[in-house]
Amino acid sequence: MKATQTAIALIVLFLVSISFDSQSLSAQSNDVYTVQVAAYGKRKSRKYFKDLGVDQIEEKIVLKTLFKYYSGSFTSLLEAEKYKNEIASKGFFFAQVINLSELVDLCATACNVSTPMTAVRIYSDDQIIKIRNVFFGFDSSFLTEEGRSDLDKLSQLLKENQQYKVEVHAHTDSRGSYEYNLQLSVRRVNSVVNYLSFKEVADRQIETYAHGEEKPIAFNEINGNDSKQGRSFNRRVELKVKDTNDLLDVVEDIIVPEKFRKIGQ
């Protein structure tokens, strides 16, 4: 029994990087709770939280891109909810109670140790977690390192929010025939979908659209001359994340310089 309790404690510590005394785990019937204060796309200092009235804070980093912050350890849900309300009154309006014991139970079967199994919430502008659209080289459907990095963020978001879906819209520049570019956009869709599937995103969360060269956001040519920079913006997969039918502001806008921008973009 003592060895089992020790193993459970180590799992919880690894998952959330929050220390709590062994007495909290002495009775297996008692759940253990903490409060997730906030999540950010950029790291925040302890001083940032202290200045807002939260003295004890622990950090959990997910995929080197998402920073989650936790505070407190409780054996009573009522105490945890009370503390969550106190945290919310200090400006962290999306604070939420996390049941650490449930995480331990999940780990008994299929534990994803990369992150606590809790929803990613969308916060105010300075807290929002942004994912970039995916761009490709000429005549290529190969995912770049940067593209894979952003799809890693996307897969994490989708797995932690099973009600979310992503629309994958693939595009090309105008080099080549219409039919060839349509097939190239299909290959780009498949590259993104296959990567998300490799990252264990459910098929039901992915919707695909291949547009070929039909929807450029930049000029492929300017005054009859080839525009390499313009075409580079058109070789893309645009990602649209939605909760049911509502689009979520989690994907960065593509900013095309004015001299390359198509009218209306």
Low-confidence ranges of the chain (pLDDT < 50): 2-29, 105-128
Q: pLDDT averaged over the chain?
A: 78
How many domains does the chain divide into? 2
- The string of DSSP letters for 2-31 reads HHHHHHHHHHHHHHH-----GGGGSSTTS-
Please tell me whether residues 232 and 256 are part of one structural domain.
Answer: yes
Give the per-residue pLDDT at 24: 40
pLDDT at 265: 52
- Shared-domain flag, residues 11 and 108: yes
85 falls within a domain: yes
**DSSP letter for each residue of 91-109:** T-TT-EEEEHHHHHHHHTT
pLDDT (0 to 100) of residue 208: 96
pLDDT at position 93? 76
Residue 59's closest CA among 76, 75, 46?
Answer: 46
Point out the domain boundary residue: 119, 149, 175: 119
Q: What's the confidence (pLDDT) of residue 37? A: 87
pLDDT digits (tens, 9 = 90+) for 211-233: 999 999 999 988 888 899 999 99
CATH code, domain carrying 159: 3.30.1330.60
Same domain, 82 and 14: yes
* β-pair partners for 71: 35
Residues 113-132: tens digit of each pLDDT: 333 323 333 333 334 457 88
If asked whether residues 47 and 7 sit together in one domain, one would say: yes
Coil, strand, or helix at residue 42?
A: coil
**Domain carrying residue 62:** 2-119
**pLDDT per residue as tens digits for the range 123-164:** 333 344 578 899 999 999 999 999 999 999 899 889 888 889
Q: What local confidence, expressed as pLDDT, does residue 232 receive?
A: 94
185 contacts 212 by C-beta, under 8 angstroms: yes
Instruction: Judge if 250 and 154 occupy the same domain.
Output: yes
